A and B are shown apart, each in its own frame.
Chain A
Amino acid sequence: MVIIRIKGTVMIETLQKFSPAIVSHKMDLKLEAKTVNAFFGKTQALQNVSLSIEKNHVVAIIGPSGCGKSTFLRCLNRMHEVAGGTMNGTILLDGKDIHENDPVNLRRRVGMVFQKANPFPTMSIFDNVAAGLRLNGMAHNGHIAEIVERSLQQAALWNEVKDSLSKNGMSISGGQQQRLCIARALAVNPEVLLMDEPASALDPIPTAKIEELIYELKKDYTIIIVTHNMQQAARVSDETAFFYLGEIIEFDNTKKIFTAPSIKQTEDYVTGRFG
């Protein structure tokens, strides 16, 4: 616990030192949303959302319940249409419109971790991680065991489960299950990781683990994380977007959002005066 705390502090300091510099560099954009509107039937869940996300950055999305955070995430990997919604506007991944290509390909590149840890309940730990590989026919390359180990290591779970890979995926703790789900998403080798409140059901210690993990993963992935926890957003993200009633109210450097937001609503929200 102590170690984790210390690491957390170091992390924030590093982040504060370097983030402004990175922002002022030439931007290497991974994802761009341009005037995205999303609907469920006739109700509009997102309005004119525009957002640019740099490669290897962590972007936190905050905002009160029902403001469209999950909907926005689902637009990014086209799971919004699976949920029965429609959208318009443009979303670019590496400069290419995600709607011009097969959603199946897109989802391999843009992985997702859900709020509630949801390992496949009938599968072992190993099979859970391998599920994505097998599902989309990447299994035949014979490296499954290697990929499973690498993914579990990336998800900081390997040491805890390496002797019980054949145990059921539901037999481990909630925090471990969530990291298992992260490993499962990583196994198909995505470029972007979408996390919808990945730690909201967890106690402080597993939450800290996940945050630490996000910091590690950032080296290889671009991460967008929805969170209700202001401290968490402040700790893990480079930029923060504040959503309210389906619109982006403010999107800026995380430090700025939490110390000197330019819009009153943002300030009220991050200081806990509404929400």
Chain B
Amino acid sequence: MNVQVEQKIAFSILFLCTLLVVVPVLIILVIIFVKGAGALNLGFLFEMPTNGMTEGGIFPAILGTLYLVLGALFFAVPLGVLSAIYLVEYSQETVLSRIVKLAIVNLAGVPSVVYGLFGLGIFVLFLGFGASILSGSLTLGIMILPVIITSSREALESVPQSFRIVSLSLGASKWQTIRHSVLPHALPGILTGTILGIGRAAGETAPILFTVAAFYLPKLPQSMFDQTMALPYHLYVISTQVPGIPETIRYGTALVLLLLVLIMNLAAIILRYQFRRRKKW
């Protein structure tokens, strides 16, 4: 009897803790949905803000985030995937390769505001790109690099060694082996990491704060050397810096950002699930 009571208590505590994890997420989601859903319409998504951002849409912020995410991917995906290929397929277990791997793990733990300062120092000031889409993309790119390298490495490592051995024994070169017998099987995993990277790049404020984000711009950016508005920073601005912004606009903006990140994460989860299920080895 005693044992059973003990078990019940332990179980209840575990259950409560689990519930406590889920509850805030649900509350946040519900509040933002309820308060923001009213603002959601095509006009809100595709129009410029008007009247000191108290009316109109958030198109420039959405477009800016899109530019920044694409820019970040443009830098981070090739670099990340190629260095993962190097680490997994070419490098021996040397001190150097271990240091590189350690650096990547640590890079993932660096606070995002540090990336922002780094971007400010290197891209904005030292390289003279100024506060621009280019600087912001590069900064975000470096921030998501560890995510992409780590997931690409895992994806490559999960491809069975026998694929490589058979391929080489058939007279394929090392590169042909990687290109045709390894990469195709690692692709879903690499894609998953990329999507997670998109979610992270779209949502962070600190890295773009000093490197690209504009408070308010009357027109859309014309080149990659222009500043741009972006969703997370725009949300910060209209929530704390400008008085008198209607609540629906604020929550609507939050909802758009949240949906963007959630959809990305969901896509990554589905992809990973499909990959695991289809895997035949």
A interface residues (Cβ-Cβ under 8 A, vs B): 77, 79, 82, 104-105, 107-108, 111-112, 114, 116, 118, 120-122, 131-132, 134-137, 168, 170, 184-185, 188
Contacts and interface: CB of A to CB of B under 8 A. Distances in A.
B14 interface: no
Chain B: number of interface residues, binned into ranges = 20 to 34
Contact of A121 (B168, B177, B281): B281
Interface of B: 162-173, 176-177, 180-181, 184-185, 280-281
Contact of A120 (B163, B169, B173): B163
A136 B185 contact: no
Contact of A79 (B162, B168, B173, B184): B168
A184 B170 contact: yes
A108 B168 CA distance: 9
25 contacts: A79-B169, A104-B171, A104-B172, A107-B169, A108-B170, A111-B170, A112-B169, A114-B165, A114-B166, A118-B162, A120-B166, A120-B181, A122-B184, A131-B170, A134-B180, A135-B167, A135-B170, A135-B172, A135-B177, A135-B180, A135-B181, A136-B172, A168-B280, A170-B280, A185-B169
| From B165, B170, B173, B281, residue with most partner A Cβ within 10 Å | B170
A111 B280 CA distance: 25
Contacts, number: 64
Contacts of B168: 79, 82, 107
Given A121-B281, A135-B177, A136-B176, A188 B170 contact: yes
Contacts of B166: 114, 118, 120, 184
Contact of A77 (B169, B173, B177, B185): B169
A137 B176 contact: yes
A171 to B, nearest CB: 10
Contacts of A185: 169-170
A116 B169 CA distance: 14
Given A104-B171, A112-B169, A135 B176 contact: yes
